[in-house]
Amino acid sequence: MGNESLLLLTVCAPLLGSLLLPLLGQISEKLRNGAALLMVAAALACAAGLLPAAIAGTPVTCRIGGLDLFQADRLAVFMALVSTLVGAIIVLYSFGYISHYQHRNEYYFMVVLFLGAMMGLVFARNLIAMYLCWEITAIVCWRLIGFFRDKNCVLKADKAFLVTVFGAVCMLLGFIMVYVQVAKVSGGTGSFDMEVIKRTLAGHHVSNWAVGLILLGIFSKSATVPLHTWLPDAGVAPSPVTALLHAAVLVKIGVYAYARLFLVTMPVSDLWQVLVPMAAAISALVSAGAALIETDLKRIIAYSTISQIAFIFLGLSMGGKGQAIGVVGGLLYILMHGISKGGLFLCAGIVEQNAKCRDITKLGGLVKVMPVTAVAFLLCAFSVMGIPPLGGFFSKYLVINGALTSGQLLVGFTFLAGAVLTILYLFRVFNLVFLGEARTDWVGQGVGEKSPTMVFSVGALAFLSVAAGLLVKWPFDFAQQAVQQMGIMQ
């Protein structure tokens, strides 16, 4: 199979394949579940199939209807691999989790469509294609957050939709300004094609207004303070959905778009290399502090995501001498955070579903009845804290190293304080949920890790957290090659 077909298949297998799922669901539950997993796995396999071409350094372009619609370079392949890997495990976990709720057809349709839209966004070479996929994720997200249909869920879903769409519309305005600027510079027509934008605007700065508008879109999608409060509220969704939002797809869209647009496509003013780290520092601190006070299990992990996303922004937005280190660290962070945060949410799902409670002050002592979940949670938490030999250590070190090397000492130390808070709030959650005195008689109520597929999924993510640390060389090398292709380092 040619590389172009592989690329097309990576995007279309989940994006178009998802439409079949409700039909398959009419025939058989198992068939639909299997097909959903197969579609995501196919995307994963095809993205892996694009690796050799990506490593060789020639971007694969896919032309549809006279437009260069999709393009796979190292950055895109890296992101696609992370998303589909975590996404596939989440789909597997859903088999156990969602099996006793209604609307399962819609659920699998939306989840696979979500991943498909993500693939489209990742490989998009055209700003409008990117925007379209961006909005598909917003709609899907709206359905999934409100999945349980009661009034509160629907309100939270509306909130998420309104905030992210507000950002996206701002972003669209920004795209149009870029289009106009391209037209001005080239003296001809404008363009939404990223390669054309890159060629035409080389040596210019994109107008700061456009950057600001696009950043609004990015920050609203990646839940950065002050556009963040919809993310903790989205915790009303089913746990695999929150895992998907936090680890694999939604919030990663923003950081990916930052890398794609501002590091690869558009040259931006140095001003943003100061402003974005500062915004990220505030976001990291505010959300980490809030995580220390919150008592709802899923909301705490959501605040943790906001805080960790800020670390990724820090890595990606560094300028100066530390830029290459920071960006490599930021990309590794996307991988490590995806794996371990996915694991944390799926563990939370097991706790929530079996103990029927999300308030950490009412849980406790669950390590006795859920030993595998407890160990998996702890390993994933260690990775988020950045403790070696788990993967999170490398990404956290590189990001901090980047900040300090760029001379941004104040920002760097703010993030160190954020890292200390990370240790504190994750331990607080672990202690209150799994250790200490049980406030309820778990054994008597027959609470335990019921579904083997769910336990296997969290085990797999915990294992990946460890493996990503011990075998860090491969993702590290690839992230570095991606950064070289992005033109940031030689």
Partner 1 sequence: MTGAHLFVPIVLPAAAGLLALLLAKKERLCAALALLATAAGLADAGLLFGKALNFAAPWGGLGFFEFSLRLDHFSGFVLLAAAGFGLLIALYSVAFMKGRSSAGQYWAYFLITLAFVNGAALADSLIVLLFFWEGLLLTLFGMIYVGHSGAWRTAMKAFVLTGVADLCMMAGVALTIYLAGGQMAMSKIQAHPLPTGGLASLAFILLMIGATAKAGAMPFHTWIPDAAIDAPLPFMALVPAALEKLAGIYFLARITLDLYVLKPGSRLSILLMALGCVTILLPVMMALVQKNYKRLLAFHAISQVGYMILGIGTAVPIGIVGGLFHMINHAMYKSCLFLTGGSVEKQAGTADLAQLGALRRQMPITFACFFVAAASICGVPPFNGFFSKELVYDGALKAGGAWSWGWVFYAAALAGSFFTAASFLKLGHAAYFDKPKQDKSAVREAPVSMLLPMLVIAGMCLLFGVWNQLPLQKLIQPILPAGMLKGEDFSGLIPHNWWLVAGTVAALLLALANHLWGARRAGSGLGAADHIHHAPGLAGIYDAAERRVFDPYEIGMKFADAVGWVTWQVDRAIDFLYDTVTVKLTAAFVFAVRVPHTGSHAMYLAWALVGLAAIVLLLMGAV
Using rule CB under 8 A, residue 416 touches partner 1: yes
* Residue 11 within binding range of partner 1, rule CB under 8 A: no
Among 273, 287, 373, 395, binds partner 1 (CB under 8 A): 287
Determine the interface stretch with partner 1 among 12-20, 98-106, 168-176, 281-289 (rule: CB under 8 A).
Answer: 281-289
Q: Give the residue, chosen from 413, 440, 448, 456, that forms a contact with partner 1 under the rule CB under 8 A.
A: 413
Q: Is the Cβ of residue 121 or residue 433 nearer to partner 1 in the bound state?
A: 433
Among 207, 440, 451, 481, binds partner 1 (CB under 8 A): 481
Q: Which residues pair with 70 in a beta bridge?
A: 62, 124
The one segment of 16-24, 38-46, 66-74, 323-331 that binds partner 1 by CB under 8 A: 323-331
Enumerate residues 351-370 that contact partner 1 by CB under 8 A.
none
CA–CA–CA angle 466, 472, 476 (5° rounding): 145
Which of residues 104 and 221 has its CB atom nearest to partner 1 in the complex? Answer: 221
Q: How far apart are CA 25 and CA 35, in angstroms?
A: 10
The C-alpha atoms of residue 485 and residue 324 are separated, in whole angstroms, by 12
Please list every residue from 370 through 399 that binds partner 1, using CB under 8 A: 382, 385, 387-389, 393-394, 396-397
Contact segment (CB under 8 A) with partner 1 among 88-96, 237-245, 424-432, 440-448 equals 424-432
Residue 433 is a binding residue for partner 1 (CB under 8 A): no
Residue 421 in contact with partner 1, rule: CB under 8 A: yes
Number of residues that bind partner 1 (CB under 8 A): 54
138 binds partner 1 (CB under 8 A): no
Shortest separation between residue 226's beta carbon and partner 1, angstroms: 5
Give yes or no for residue 419 binding partner 1 (CB under 8 A). Answer: yes
CB of 224 to partner 1, least distance (A): 11
Contact between 420 and partner 1 (CB under 8 A)?
Answer: yes
Cα gap 11→136, rounded to integer Å: 14
Task: Determine if 163 is a binding residue for partner 1 (CB under 8 A).
Answer: yes
Q: How far is the CB of 419 from partner 1 (least distance, A)?
A: 5
Report if residue 325 touches partner 1, rule: CB under 8 A: yes
Quick note: the x/- pattern for partner 1 over 211-250, rule CB under 8 A, is --------------xx-xxx--------------------
Q: Closest approach of Cβ 183 to partner 1, in Å?
A: 21
Binding site for partner 1 (CB under 8 A): 159, 163, 225-226, 228-230, 285-294, 321, 324-325, 328, 382, 385, 387-389, 393-394, 396-397, 400-401, 404-405, 412-413, 416, 419-421, 423-424, 427, 431, 435-436, 472-473, 476-477, 479-481, 489
